[in-house]
């Protein structure tokens, strides 16, 4: 999973890396993340998604958090538009990885439609951590191809394996989705601003859950971003703290994301 602190290490530090070293690192990330398609396949099967639907999701969507969000929302009885909207918004972060990658990789125009499919958390992490363009391109390609191959293979195996397991709830498979989200979220909670947004989103979704149709509370929780930023800007002392680490704990009720 992406360790976002690594994304912040300046590239171009002059550190020489061998191609073999880059490939080794990329394979390590690729295998570890690629096999988690197994968890997605089992979760998808438990959500009432067919083998074909799960396989198409992994082939064409290929961004794990959005896939988990979509099957989770459908399983909860959300309508297809709300479910797709949640998955889409979660995928928008890939556009910002793309912005950074475009500068680092300098891909020819004709390569972009293919490369775009591989723009996800982990490929971006590996590519942006490299000191030069050649290593970044190797890292991006090897991580992307490895994850794509394994993620799609293990998705199918997960769906098939799920039917052999019987009742997925007895095996605790329904806890895999939230654990994936928590693992993605934890490294993002660097500063007070991020923590305040997370706490506000939790409160909004808890408040909305009994009142709104399935899938909608998650979209409402996006309001945590403007609400938190507006509150921050009214308190001048804390303006612009997004990149500063602060030890003080945030205010807020449900804090199970705290790490």
- 99-138: contacts with other proteins (CB under 8 A): 99, 101-103, 107, 112-113, 115-117, 119
DSSP string over 32-68: HHHTTHHHHHHHHHHTT--HHHHHHIIIII--HHHHH
242 binds other proteins (CB under 8 A): yes
Select from 10-18, 75-83, 136-144, 149-157 the region that touches other proteins (CB under 8 A). Answer: 75-83
| Closest CB 16 distance from other proteins, rounded Å | 27
190-219 positions binding other proteins, by CB under 8 A: 193-194, 197-202, 204-206, 209-214, 217-218
Cα angle for residues 158, 143, 182 (degrees, 5° grid)? 55
Region label for 106, one of left (φ > 0), alpha (ψ between -120 and 50) or beta (otherwise): left
State the virtual CA torsion across 68, 73, 75, 77 in degrees, nearest 10: -170
> What's the min distance (Å) between Cβ of 59 and other proteins?
9
For the segment 166-195, give every residue that binds other proteins (CB under 8 A): 169-186, 188-189, 193-194
**In Å, how far are 139, 205, 258 from 116, measured between CA atoms?**
15, 32, 33
Interface pattern 20-59 for other proteins (x via CB under 8 A): ------------xx-xx--x---------x---x--xx--
Does the footprint of other proteins cover residue 14 (CB under 8 A)?
Answer: no
């Amino acid at each position: 999973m992406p360790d976002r602190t690594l994304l912040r290490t300046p590239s171009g530090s002059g550190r020489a890396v061998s191609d073999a070293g880059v490939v080794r690192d990329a394979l390590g990330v690729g295998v570890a993340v690629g096999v988690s398609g197994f968890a997605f396949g089992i979760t998808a099967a438990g959500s009432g998604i067919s083998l074909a639907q799960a396989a198409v999701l992994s082939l064409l969507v290929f961004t794990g958090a959005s896939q988990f969000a979509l099957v989770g929302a459908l399983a909860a009885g959300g309508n297809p538009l709300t479910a797709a909207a949640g998955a889409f918004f979660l995928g928008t972060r890939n556009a910002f990885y793309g912005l950074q990658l475009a500068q680092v990789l300098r891909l020819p125009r004709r390569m972009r439609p293919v490369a775009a499919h591989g723009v996800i958390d982990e490929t971006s992490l590996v590519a942006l951590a490299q000191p030069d363009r050649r290593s970044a391109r190797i890292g991006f390609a090897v991580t992307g191809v490895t994850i794509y191959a394994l993620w799609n293979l293990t998705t199918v195996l997960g769906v098939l394996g799920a039917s052999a397991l019987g009742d997925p709830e007895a095996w605790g498979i329904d806890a895999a989705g939230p654990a994936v989200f928590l693992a993605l979220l934890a490294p993002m909670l660097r500063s007070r601003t991020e923590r305040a947004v997370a706490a506000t989103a939790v409160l909004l979704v808890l408040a909305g859950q009994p009142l709104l149709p399935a899938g909608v509370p998650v979209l409402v929780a996006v309001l945590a971003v403007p609400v938190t930023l507006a509150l921050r800007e009214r308190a001048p002392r804390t303006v612009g703290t997004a990149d500063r680490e602060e030890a003080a704990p945030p205010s807020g009720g449900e804090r199970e994301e705290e790490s």
